[in-house]
């Protein structure tokens, strides 16, 4: 039979220690017995125990057991403690339970009684640890779930986050503005062993150089005008946790030197200070700039670049994962519908397709803004295509405009524009079921402007198909060429006139 558990017995009476070693040892427990709190703490620091069985009074110290209980609550809070005493009272028992004791037993006790208490304490400990592990696992899953998307690129990001979260190395997150670099940084922090400590974020490009130095490293009273008291820097605030430096490429060279010093020494010197402060911070940086290129130009320190870029993580732009756009769009529709108290709002496939076609230079941040606007302005509970900005409705991918590049031989710009307008007018008429008003809305035009284009390109208002001049117009052109039409021409005109008016010609 394997070991049932590891028990630490703390009692100043040698006979009691020997009794418990024999009784619990016979039940399969691995028992270690010590005579005082100091030796108990030393044993707990060396190894883990499933339960601690301690006397309340030891020698002349009437509160020795409570002292050990306090130490356990701070250093091993999930380790259950059973308090023993021959001088017990109801008040003492209540006090021990309030301080975190799992149970309380009066001396002398029966062997079966102590066996039951230990077994129950270990079972309760296991339940607590399972619940903690479950909550932690659910929290981690939630953090990963916040990274929206099912594309291959996003799955690779999720995998990378899981792999690097537990590592102590610095991480550099690369990607265009608005792709969600801070979201990735937070996920890394929350999945790490530092998750219970602070996650502190600062945008290096949004703060002047002198203020950025004070924010990062802190300052001492009197260091400069206005420094009326000491202030802790963000490195100290984030001690034990993670510091996220967004837009690190905007950091001035002077501060880059100081940052490198912190990374090398794990110490911070406040502005105006004379002694360094030790810090334990995991640094995560992000940038939308090409730091390697900046290094070549002398705009970024080479040594700092290598210290930051130990583990690079690149977040792809939204246009490179268009399949994720509908997922983002639906997510933001739900979020903003709730925040704006709009109830359930529908995003039809037609609107999704327009969102997928657009190239999103502002990435996820821009998409969120567009959806918030559409949810706020849409009529009823459905976002129609015309609720989206005109530049998104009318966007034409580069591949649809002769690859978006000017050929060496040039182009006939008027012809190209006419071709594009004709195609979109036809599509708009079809989608609007030939309602000129709705078609104009889809194209971001006034009805009058649409009618002008229909006439300009010779398009039918009903079918959107180019039409040739009618026979009546052709004959009219012939007539216009002569001052006095002949009787034959007059008869032909009368024939076509009656036909267009639905009158059956005679004869």
The domain that holds 441 is classified in CATH as 1.10.10
Q: Given its phi and psi angles, is residue 433 left (phi above 0), alpha (psi -120 to 50 degrees) or beta?
A: left
pTM of the model: 0.55
CB 30 within 8 A of CB 6: yes
What is the spatial distance between Cα 426 and Cα 458, in angstroms, rounded to a whole number?
A: 12
Query: Domain boundary at 356, 371, 395, which?
Result: 395
What is the spatial distance between Cα 303 and Cα 75, in angstroms, rounded to a whole number?
A: 39
Instruction: Count Cα neighbours of 348 within 13 Å in the Cβ-side half-sphere.
Output: 11
Instruction: Count Cα neighbours of 370 within 13 Å in the Cβ-side half-sphere.
Output: 30
What is the spatial distance between Cα 345 and Cα 348, in angstroms, rounded to a whole number?
A: 10
Q: Output the tens digit of pLDDT for each of the chain's 507 residues.
A: 556 788 999 999 999 999 999 999 998 899 999 999 999 999 988 888 889 999 888 888 888 888 999 898 888 888 899 988 876 666 777 788 888 888 888 888 889 999 999 988 888 877 776 665 555 555 444 455 578 888 888 889 989 998 999 888 999 999 999 999 999 999 999 889 898 889 999 999 888 888 899 999 988 888 888 878 888 889 999 999 999 999 999 999 999 999 999 999 999 999 888 888 889 999 999 999 999 999 999 999 999 999 999 999 999 999 888 889 999 999 999 999 999 998 899 999 989 999 998 999 999 999 999 999 999 999 889 999 989 998 898 887 755 444 445 555 565 677 677 778 888 888 888 888 888 988 888 888 888 888 888 888 888 655 444 444 444 444 444 444 444 555 655 565 565 556 555 555 454
The answer to whether residues 304 and 239 belong to one domain is yes
What is the spatial distance between Cα 90 and Cα 113, in angstroms, rounded to a whole number?
A: 18
What are the tokens at 265? 């020494």
Sort strands 242-246 and 282-287 into parallel, antiparallel or unpaired: parallel
The answer to whether residues 122 and 158 belong to one domain is no
What is the spatial distance between Cα 281 and Cα 310, in angstroms, rounded to a whole number?
A: 15
Model pLDDT for residues 446-499, shown as the tens digit of each residue: 888 888 888 888 886 554 444 444 444 444 444 444 445 556 555 655 655 565
Angle at 293 between CA 287 and CA 298, to 5 degrees: 100
Kind plus residue range of the DSSP H or E element containing 411: none
The answer to whether residues 302 and 211 belong to one domain is yes
Number of domains in the chain: 5
Supply the range of the domain harboring residue 362: 319-395
| Beta carbons within 10 angstroms of residue 21's beta carbon | 16
Full 3-state SS string of 349-364: HHHHHHHHHCCCCCHH
- Per the domain annotation, does 463 fall within a domain? no
Model pLDDT for residues 279-299, shown as the tens digit of each residue: 999 999 999 999 999 999 999
Query: Domain boundary at 102, 131, 160, which?
Result: 131
Task: Determine the 3-state secondary structure of 198 from DSSP.
Answer: coil
Task: Determine the 3-state secondary structure of 203 from DSSP.
Answer: strand
């Amino acid at each position: 039979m394997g070991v049932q558990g590891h028990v630490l017995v703390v009692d100043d009476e040698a006979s009691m220690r020997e009794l418990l070693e024999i009784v619990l040892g016979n039940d399969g427990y691995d028992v270690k017995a010590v005579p005082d709190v100091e030796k108990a703490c030393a044993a707990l620091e060396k190894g883990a125990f499933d339960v601690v069985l301690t006397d309340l009074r030891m020698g002349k110290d009437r509160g020795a057991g409570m002292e050990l209980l306090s130490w356990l609550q701070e250093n091993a809070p999930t380790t259950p403690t059973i308090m023993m005493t021959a001088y017990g009272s109801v008040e003492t028992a209540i006090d021990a339970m309030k301080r975190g004791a799992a149970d309380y037993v009066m001396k002398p006790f029966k062997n079966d009684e102590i066996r039951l208490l230990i077994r129950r304490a270990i079972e309760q400990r296991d339940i607590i640890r399972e619940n903690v592990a479950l909550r932690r696992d659910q929290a981690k899953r939630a953090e990963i779930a916040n990274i929206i998307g099912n594309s291959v690129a996003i799955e690779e990001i999720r995998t990378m986050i899981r792999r690097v979260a537990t590592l102590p190395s610095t991480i550099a997150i690369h990607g265009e503005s608005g792709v969600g670099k801070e979201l990735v940084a937070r996920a890394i922090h929350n999945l790490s062993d530092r998750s219970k400590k602070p996650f502190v974020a600062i945008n290096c490009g949004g703060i002047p150089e002198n203020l950025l130095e004070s924010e990062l490293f802190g300052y001492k009273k009197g260091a400069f005008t206005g420094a009326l008291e000491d202030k802790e820097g963000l490195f100290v605030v984030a001690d034990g946790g993670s510091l996220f430096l967004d837009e690190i490429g905007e950091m001035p060279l002077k501060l880059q030197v100081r940052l490198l010093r912190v990374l090398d020494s794990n110490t911070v010197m406040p502005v105006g200070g004379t002694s360094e402060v030790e810090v334990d911070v995991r640094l995560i940086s992000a940038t939308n700039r090409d730091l390697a290129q900046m290094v070549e130009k002398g705009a970024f320190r080479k040594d700092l670049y290598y210290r930051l870029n130990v583990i690079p993580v690149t977040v792809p732009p939204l246009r490179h994962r268009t399949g994720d756009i509908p997922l983002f769009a639906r997510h933001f529709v739900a979020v903003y519908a709730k925040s704006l108290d709009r109830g359930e709002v529908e995003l039809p496939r037609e609107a999704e397709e327009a969102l997928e076609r657009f190239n999103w230079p502002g990435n996820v941040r821009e998409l969120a803004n567009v959806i918030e606007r559409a949810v706020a302005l849409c009529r009823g509970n459905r976002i129609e295509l015309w609720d989206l900005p005109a530049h998104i409705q009318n966007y034409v991918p580069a591949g649809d405009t002769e690859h978006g590049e000017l050929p060496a031989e040039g182009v006939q710009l008027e012809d190209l524009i006419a071709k594009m307008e004709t195609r979109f007018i036809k599509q708009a008429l079809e989608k609007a079921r030939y309602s000129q008003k709705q078609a104009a809305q889809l194209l971001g035009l006034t009805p009058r402007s649409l009618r002008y284009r229909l006439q300009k390109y010779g398009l039918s208002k009903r079918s959107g198909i180019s039409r040739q001049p009618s026979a009546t117009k052709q004959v009219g052109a012939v007539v216009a060429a002569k001052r006095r039409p002949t009787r034959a021409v007059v008869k032909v005109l009368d024939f076509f006139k009656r036909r267009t008016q639905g009158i059956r010609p005679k004869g």
